[in-house]
Amino acid sequence: MESLALLIMALVAIVLFTGPVSLLLTSQLFWNFTLKNSAVWMIRRVFLAVISFIGMSVQIIFVLNQLPLAPKLFAILGLGLNIIALKKEFLRKRAWSSLFKMNPGDQNGPPGQS
């Protein structure tokens, strides 16, 4: 029973802390600090992507399973923070609205499609 409690505690810690840690790693302070050394820059980006992927996976499991409302809300909050952190890291110069727009080209789709 202790090992089950430790597993649940680890999963809840992942849900609660990956979002804020990811957001902290994309803050302007860390961004400017790691720009000076390209190796540290890449390590930070890889670490951010890995913990965000792990955190988002566990958070989606929490949201989709039958759990009480409080853990689901924490998972949704963490998921949102991870999405914001990944957008800040990899799509910093693109606006949120441009991420959800279709291309303004041909409304019928790519050529050859009927």
Q: What is the DSSP string of 58-87?
A: HHHHHHHS---HHHHHHHHHHHHHHHHHHH
Residue 37 has pLDDT above 90, yes or no: no
Region class of 109: left (phi > 0), else alpha (psi between -120 and 50), else beta: left
Q: What is the DSSP string of 28-46?
A: HHHHHHHTT-HHHHHHHHH
Q: Name the more confident of 96 and 2.
A: 2
The 10s digit of each residue's pLDDT in 62-96 is 999 999 999 999 999 999 999 999 998 888 777 76
Q: What distance in Å separates the CA atoms of residue 82 and residue 88, rounded to the nearest whole number? A: 10
Query: How many secondary structure helices (H) and strands (E) does the chain include?
Result: 5, 0
Residue 114 has pLDDT above 70, yes or no: no
**Mean pLDDT, the chain, as a whole number?**
86
pTM: 0.79
pLDDT bracket for residue 113 (50, 70, 90): low
Calculated CA dihedral for residues 20, 51, 75, 80, nearest 10 degrees: 60
Residue ranges per domain, the chain?
7-92
